[in-house]
Amino acid sequence: MMLAQQEFLDEFDWFVSRWWTLWLSGDVLFLLGQVIFIFVFLLVSVMLMVWFERKVVSDMQNRIGPNVAGPWGIMQTLADGIKLFFKEDLTPDGADRTVFKLAPYLSLIPAFLMFAIVPIGGDFSNADGSVNFFWGDFDFRLQVVDPPMGVLLFLAMSGLGIYGVMLAGWASGSKYPLFGSVRASAQMVSYEAALGLSLAAVFLTSGSLRTSEIVQSQVDGIWNVFGLGFFPFIIFLIAGTAELNRPPFDLVEAEQELVGGFHTEYSSLRFSLFFLAEFMNVVTMAGIIVTLFFGGPDGPIFTETLGWAWGMLWFFLKTVVFLFIFVWFRATLPRLRYDQLMDLGWKVLIPFALGWFLLLSAISVADVEGWNIFVTIAIAIAVFMAGAMLLMAAIRTARKSRLESEILEYG
Amino acid sequence: MSLQLFSFLVAGVVVLTGSLGVVMAKHPVHAALFLIQTLFGVAVEFLVVEAHFLAAIQVIVYAGAIVILFLFVIMLLGVDNAEDLSVEPIIGQRPLAFVGGAAILGLLLAIINSAGITGVPGNVDAPGPTGEVLPNVNQLAESIFTEQVFAFEVTGILLTVAVVGAVVMARRIPGALQPLPDIPAISGFGFGSTGDTDTDGDADAAMAAGDEQGDDS
């Protein structure tokens, strides 16, 4: 028998007899503590976010908004949550019962896991972002995990989050939820491509997928929003809003057409789980945007002893700005039509993100090879323009032939 | 190290129950859900052997895109009803499936017994193709764009060809579709344009006439 196999078997014996000691080790307990902290943090921030959204939207519409429960109505979400908790839990007759019950969790769990990679604080200017406020040489980062695949975890989890929406609509066994879920998944799959392409530009400059290293590269250089020339950020913001199914991309729950979209048949606790997942995703998306494009916890550090706390402050302030922007979108922009949504995703955002990525990579290759930077940019822009003209010609031809065939068919 | 073993065992159970579920589930949507479970478990196994990038791509591409498309097809084509497993669609399919399964099992056992596979994760701190010690993900990127660049480019061309092919197949040929030729042999079984589909036939004829006019102008 091979030595390695023997080692494996020994370890297996140890594991069978002593597996429970794993849970007593400090690392596991600490990780559990972090997970619980982030979970509670997300729940509280969802509660505040719902209140914030209602309050800001009502301000923008000259209304008062929630003002009864607690000071400035801040406990309104809690009251609504308790109400939802005690409502009757209905399961439609035509529902696929197992999947119907599974879907809210499939929506919630990825929403929660996504936040694990966001560094919510830490001093990246004077230190490497890790903090040490317990004992000895126990350094840790203010994020649950910092895996080498980093931001790809975010993409993977937002990919899995689609299942919650899709299966909820299908399992309800009713027409409008199914329409809503088909729309939702088509939209999310389409915009994920644009999201990934604008992320590629971030990876190009920071040279890493890890969120901590992306933040570090921005602290050492300039914030990615400036360094990448604004467009990747704008594309990410638009695609992210679409990925969240928030207005102006909320065709999924277009109430005039689809009743409530995928969650029409849900009530009580299961509905509140969808609601929770949706708002958790909003908070996470704001955190991810801040991390990737606005330096995360980067900002002036006034006292070096509590540097991580300053980082936390800057992170929260920036996140609140983006939460406000999401609410602002909702209060001011009318909903897109379905074909406009698909056109924007496939014919504008994806080609543009790809072209901009090629431009950025041409610049970085020119930097390494020592080419003339202006000539490189000029050639890259010329190629970019030629590609755009070809694309527009293709779109025009397609539209013309479609119109012709429609005229032939319908006269 | 032992936490690694624990993750390996848990993910192994997830993969095995998932793959059994794919085969045993009577409902196509349930089978697709079990497929996601299997793919996710495999991604965790990749993580156990420190293949982080592969794990992420496994979830993004397979679970996040391909199974979504499976579900689309199942939902939109309306094949989402439980199947009768007692009917064999192709005669001789089941014995052949057993033979194929046994062959794959034998192949896997042979590979596991050979010296190549030890169950020990590779050395992630080994130098990459350029001799530099880099993180796992960077090493993979370096290898793809230096040693494997030809295979990478060929794969890219293959995917482009597939996309172009799909567009060409989905393209509508200018002009209305011609009505199917009326074959007397099958019209007796209700396939051709018989008495009660006369209105359709007229519409087809009108459309064909319009088509000719369009061509003339």
Domain residues of chain B, as ranges?
1-81+107-122, 128-176
A231 and A378 in a single domain? The answer is: no
pLDDT at position B80 is: 55
The pLDDT of A368-390, averaged and rounded, is 87
Q: Taking 60 as the threshold, does the pLDDT of residue B214 lie above it?
A: no
Could you give the CA distance from residue A306 to residue A304 in angstroms, rounded to a whole number? 6
Chain B nearest-CA residue for A410? B207
Interface of B with A in 67-106 (CB under 8 A): 68, 71-72, 75-76, 80
Chain B within 8 Å of A17 (Cβ-Cβ)? no
A163 and A219 in a single domain? The answer is: yes
Q: Encoding tokens for residue A96?
A: 């696929």
Q: Taking 90 as the threshold, does the pLDDT of residue B15 lie above it?
A: yes
Q: Taking 70 as the threshold, does the pLDDT of residue A2 lie above it?
A: no
Judging contacts by C-beta atoms under 8 Å, the chain A residues touching residue B52 are 147-149
Query: Looking at the domain assignment, is residue A34 inside a domain?
Result: no
Interface of B with A in 100-159 (CB under 8 A): 115, 118-120, 135-138
Could you give the CA distance from residue A311 to residue A72 in angstroms, rounded to a whole number? 29
A317 and A388 in a single domain? The answer is: no
By CB atoms closer than 10 A (0-12, 13-18, 19+), residue A369 is exposed
**Positive or negative: CA dihedral A315, A317, A318, A322:** positive
**Averaged pLDDT score across all residues of chain A:** 83
Q: Rank A181-185, A276-280, A338-342 by mean pLDDT and report only the highest.
A: A276-280
A209 and A302 in a single domain? The answer is: yes
Q: How far is CA A52 from CA A37, A45, A115, in A?
A: 22, 10, 20
pLDDT at position B79 is: 62
A170 and A217 in a single domain? The answer is: yes
Distance from CA of B30 to the nearest CA of A (A): 8
A394 and A310 in a single domain? The answer is: no
Mutation target to probe the A interface, by most A beta carbons within 10 A, among B60, B111, B212 is B60
Q: Is the peptide bond before A248 cis (omega within 30 degrees of 0)?
A: yes
Compute CA A39 distance to the chain's CA centroid, rounded to the nearest angstrom: 16
Across the interface, whether the CB atoms of B6 and A15 are under 8 A apart is answered yes
The pLDDT of A65-94, averaged and rounded, is 84
A129 and A268 in a single domain? The answer is: yes
A330 and A214 in a single domain? The answer is: yes
Could you give the CA distance from residue A102 to residue A252 in angstroms, rounded to a whole number? 20
Q: What is the pTM of this model?
A: 0.81
pLDDT at position A71 is: 85
Could you give the CA distance from residue A39 to residue A217 in angstroms, rounded to a whole number? 28
Rama region for A147: left / alpha / beta (φ>0; ψ in -120 to 50; rest): beta
pLDDT at position B161 is: 95
How many CA atoms within 13 Å lie on the side-chain side of B70? 17
CATH of B1-81+107-122, one of 3.90.1150.10, 3.90.1640.30, 1.20.120.1200, 1.10.260.40: 1.20.120.1200
Which residues constitute the domain of residue A386? 338-411
A300 and A154 in a single domain? The answer is: yes
Q: Is the peptide bond before A297 cis (omega within 30 degrees of 0)?
A: no
Interface of A with B in 74-103 (CB under 8 A): 96, 98-99, 102
Lowest mean pLDDT of A239-253, A338-352, B2-16, B80-94, name the range: B80-94
By CB atoms closer than 10 A (0-12, 13-18, 19+), residue B94 is exposed
Which of A279, A308, A336 terminates a domain? The answer is: A336
Lowest mean pLDDT of A194-198, A398-402, B95-99, name the range: A398-402
User: What percent of chain A has a predicted confidence (pLDDT) above 90?
Assistant: 11
A210 and A254 in a single domain? The answer is: yes
Across the interface, whether the CB atoms of A156 and B137 are under 8 A apart is answered no
Across the interface, whether the CB atoms of A170 and B71 are under 8 A apart is answered yes
Query: Looking at the domain assignment, is residue A6 inside a domain?
Result: no
The answer to whether A204 and A242 have CB atoms below 8 angstroms apart is no
Chain B nearest-CA residue for A97? B30
A210 and A327 in a single domain? The answer is: yes
Query: Looking at the domain assignment, is residue A35 inside a domain?
Result: no
Q: Encoding tokens for residue A127?
A: 């230190």
A291 and A396 in a single domain? The answer is: no
Which of A336, A358, A373 terminates a domain? The answer is: A336
Which of A319, A336, A353 terminates a domain? The answer is: A336
Q: Pick the more confident residue, A398 or A53.
A: A53
Q: How many domains does chain A have?
A: 3
Chain A nearest-CA residue for B177? A409
